[in-house]
Amino acid sequence: MSKTARAHTNIALIKYWGKKDAKLRLPLMSSLSMTLDAFYSDTKISDSEEMAFKLNGQTVSGPAADRVFSYLRAMQDRFGVKGELAVESINQVPTAAGLASSSSAFAAMAAAFADHYQLDLDRRELSRMARMGSGSASRSVFGGFSVWQKGDSDETSYAYPLDEKPEMDLRLLAVEINDQQKKISSTKGMEMSKSSPFYQLWLDRNDEELAEMEDAVKRGDFTKLGSLAELNASEMHALTFTARPGFSYFEPNTIKAIKLVQDLRQQGLECYYTIDAGPNVKVLCQRKNSKDIVNSFESSFDRVKIIEAGFGPGVTLLD
Ligand code: DP6
């Protein structure tokens, strides 16, 4: 009997935004993330008459299902195994508009696949396997803080744990600005961003930003971690604005949220923002301030959904 695999989403503090090899999903930069306890995917794989994919109880077809099936076929080739598979996933991640649900989805899928075929892989191999489904999924194999080292081949591009049980006081407030599906996928957006005149600078800064973020994590320095995460996210979004053709994931309320974070900081309520490939804003703060920050968002926006998260665990098989 196959087991259900559970993986949590992660939020990148130093972001992955560019591929060297699209097929293998080798990145042009290393990234660092925090795995979140509030959002996860549960996935189970079993034998079937034909390939089938159910998400939250509904049969999925079209491009989303094709992505899953081609991933499963690629993994079957990789490990020399065969068969038609039924994938059942439950996503406890609110929509695709900002939190990379693909990170938990493909980390859980990789672990479920390994369990189904009894592959007995170590976590590094699982991370490489998850990477092939979605780059950010490589980091969701681990809990706490993890780093995806870019490497330069399939064998050398994987995530490893930096601190799986951090003692640092760090909370993430996921502020839902818009629950619409994003229009430009991360895969496409990162490719388009390569046309920005700042793209080379983005790559050149990666080593230094990663080293500084690792240092902030090791020292539990919230101010450094938050300000650097905010800078890194702003740099990533600057690439979208300056790409040819230019584009943006921001919506008017994204800017409003950014300004609110800046204002709160000036008022002495320390917080920082980070934003992925969508309009939603994630606020990094400390436990002592989270309630006040939530209250400020609730009074500044008409309807706003905020979910608070802390550190989540790595991928596991449920009994
Ligand atoms: C902005 O992992 O979704 O969230 O490898 O093309 O599936 P693909 O991309 P994906 O990109 C995540 C982009 C990001 C930054 C990050 O998580 O590092």
Residue nearest ligand 1's atom 3 by CA = 186
Amino acid identity of residue 194, one-letter, is K
Residue nearest ligand 1's atom 4 by CA = 276
With beta carbons less than 8 A apart as the criterion, state whether 292 and 263 touch.
no
Q: To the nearest 10°, the Cα dihedral for 198, 200, 202, 208?
A: -140
* CATH numbers and ranges of domains, the chain: 4-167 (3.30.230.10), 171-309 (3.30.70.890)
With beta carbons less than 8 A apart as the criterion, state whether 296 and 269 touch.
yes
| Confidence (pTM) | 0.96
Best of 25, 67, 70, 136 for a ligand 1 pocket test (most atoms within 8 Å of beta carbon) = 136
Distance 212 CA to ligand 1 centre (A): 21
* pLDDT for position 186: 93
Q: Enter the ipTM.
A: 0.99
Q: What is the pLDDT of residues 125-179, one digit of tens each?
A: 999 999 999 999 999 999 999 999 999 999 999 999 999 999 999 999 999 887 6
Contacts of 125 (CB under 8 A, 6+ apart): none
Cα–Cα distance, 105 to 91 (Å, whole number): 7
Ligand 1 pocket (Cβ < 6 Å) reads: 12, 15-17, 25, 31, 100, 102, 134-136, 186-187, 276-277
Distance 298 CA to ligand 1 centre (A): 29
Q: What is the pLDDT of residues 53-68, one digit of tens each?
A: 999 999 999 998 999 9
Distance 17 CA to ligand 1 centre (A): 7
Write out residues in the chain with pLDDT < 70, as ranges.
94-100, 179-182
* pLDDT for position 2: 86
Best of 24, 158, 186 for a ligand 1 pocket test (most atoms within 8 Å of beta carbon) = 186
Residue nearest ligand 1's atom 6 by CA = 187
* pLDDT for position 93: 80
Best of 10, 14, 15, 16 for a ligand 1 pocket test (most atoms within 8 Å of beta carbon) = 16
Residue nearest ligand 1's atom 11 by CA = 186
Nearest-atom number in ligand 1 for the CA of 133 is: 7
Nearest-atom number in ligand 1 for the CA of 131 is: 5
